[in-house]
Amino acid sequence: MNTTWTEGIGFAAAACTTLCFIPQLVKIRKQGGRDLSYLMLGIYLAGLFLWLIYGVLLHALAVIAANTVGIVLVATAVIPKAVMDSRTRESERASTSIQ
């Protein structure tokens, strides 16, 4: 198989699997991240880092690009989730102390 064709398949696969996380980010923005598990996000992030290392060791640009973008997307999900969870805990404490 032609190297260019193979790389094209790799980049198409990388785009599909990486960009599928974007709807999750939109949902977090609109509804908050309560439904997302920190454990799942942590395991997913660990997997992305391992795939990134694998891609670097193999010099596989599609794997490197997909997992770099994936790490950024997951971090972009974890940060607002943590902020929203913190605000929720603070408001729950405030409402408990008022009663």
Query: Is the per-residue pLDDT at 79 higher than 90?
Result: no
Q: Taking the chain, what is the end-to-end CA distance rounded to the nearest angstrom?
A: 70
Count of domains in the chain? Answer: 1
pTM, entire model: 0.76
Task: Tell me the longest C-alpha to C-alpha distance in the chain.
Answer: 70
Of all residues in the chain, the percent with pLDDT exceeding 90 is 36
Residues with Cβ < 8 Å from 51, sequence gap 6 or more? Answer: 63, 66, 67, 70
Domain that residue 67 falls in: 3-98
Any idea what the CATH number is for the domain that residue 29 is in? Answer: 1.20.1280.290
> In the structure, what pLDDT confidence band is assigned to residue 99 with cuts at 50, 70 and 90?
low
Please state the rounded mean pLDDT for residues 69-73. Answer: 93
* Amino acid symbol at 73: L
77 within 8 A of 41, measured Cβ to Cβ: yes
Range scoring the smallest mean pLDDT among 7-11, 44-48, 63-67: 7-11
pLDDT, position 97: 66
**pLDDT tens, residue by residue, 29-52:** 788 777 788 898 899 999 999 999
